[in-house]
Amino acid sequence: MTITYDFSGQTALVTGGARGIGQRIAADLLKGGAKVHVFDLSPCEDDGITGHIVDVCDSAAITAALARIGPDLDILVNNAGITGGTASVTASDPALWRRIIEVNLNSVFEMCRLVIPLMQARNFGRVVNMASVAGKSGSPGLSAYSAAKAGVIAFTKSLARELGDTEIRVNSVAPAAVETDLLGQMAPETVQTMIDKSPLGRLGTVAEISAIVQFLCSRECSFNTGATFDASGGRLDY
C-alpha cells in the first residue's frame, strides 16, 4: 500500500524514524518529494534521508540539530517511543515509569516547543503526534505507556486549539498493535490480547499507519486539527 501526496519543496522531520513505523513514514514522505530528516538514537540507513543522532528528550541536542536543518520546516512527525516492557503498577520500577513518560510524552512537548516557532514564522505547518489505543482504553501491564499516550492525545488537542488561527494543523494517530520490533518489548500474551480485541483479528501494518500520516501531513488536511485518528482494526468504538 502506497498513498502518495505532493510534498515537493517541503521539509519534513520524523522522530524515531530509523526503523518501524517511523521508517515507513519517512520513506513515504520522501516518495512524495519532501526533503526528509530523521531524529533517532540509531543511525538512519535509508538512501535520500538525512539522519541525525538525537535524543528527543534533550532540548539542547534538539536545538543543535534543528540549526543544522535550517528554519524551513513544514512537517513534524513525533513518532519516537518505547513501551518499556510489561509490569503491573505495583511491580513497576519508578525510574522506568519516568523514562517512559519522558520518551513518549515529554519529547513531544520538547519537539513542538522548539519547532512550532519555525512554523509560525512562515504561517504553515503540519504536526502529527503518534498516540496509541492504549491512550484511550488503557492496557493492563502498560500503565506508564497508557498514561503517556493519553497525554499525547490531550496535548494534541490543546496545541491545535492554540494554533487555530494559523495554517498549522496538529493531529494524532492512535494505532493498535502494529507489526514492528517494538512488540518485542511486550510479553507475548499481552500482544495476543491486543490481537484478540480487534474485530479484524490481526496486527496492523506500518504501511497502513503511514497512509493515515501522509494525509495528515499534506496540504489536503486543511480542516482537520486536534483530532485523533484511530487505526485499531475496529477495536475502538468511540
User: Does 156 fall in a domain?
Assistant: yes
User: Does 205 fall in a domain?
Assistant: yes
Residue 5 falls in the annotated catalytic set: no
Q: How much is the pTM? A: 0.93
CB 180 within 8 A of CB 19: yes
User: Does 117 fall in a domain?
Assistant: yes
The upper half-sphere exposure of residue 236, i.e. CA atoms within 13 Å in the direction of its Cβ, equals 19
- What would the pLDDT profile of 85-107 be if each residue is shown by its tens digit? 888 899 889 999 999 999 999 99
Pairwise CA distance, residues 206 & 189, whole Å:
21
- What would the pLDDT profile of 128-167 be if each residue is shown by its tens digit? 999 999 899 888 888 999 999 999 999 999 999 999 999 9
User: Does 199 fall in a domain?
Assistant: yes
Rounded to the nearest 10 degrees, the angle between the axes of helix 143-162 and helix 107-122 is 20
β-bridge mates for residue 38, sequence order: 14, 51
Q: How many domains does the chain have?
A: 1
**pLDDT in tens for each of the 238 residues of the chain?**
566 799 999 999 999 999 999 999 999 999 999 999 999 999 998 999 999 999 999 999 999 999 999 999 999 999 999 988 888 899 889 999 999 999 999 999 999 999 999 999 999 999 999 999 989 988 888 899 999 999 999 999 999 999 999 999 999 999 988 888 767 666 788 778 878 888 888 888 999 999 999 999 999 999 999 999 999 888 765 6
CATH code for the domain of 201? 3.40.50.720
Taking alpha carbons only, the member of 151, 68, 136 closest to residue 106 is 151
**For residue 122, what are the domain limits?**
11-231
User: Does 154 fall in a domain?
Assistant: yes
> Could you tell me whether strands 35-40 and 168-175 are parallel, antiparallel, or unpaired per DSSP bridges?
unpaired
User: Does 6 fall in a domain?
Assistant: no
User: Does 4 fall in a domain?
Assistant: no
User: Does 1 fall in a domain?
Assistant: no
The residue from 5, 7, 145, 155 that is catalytic is 145
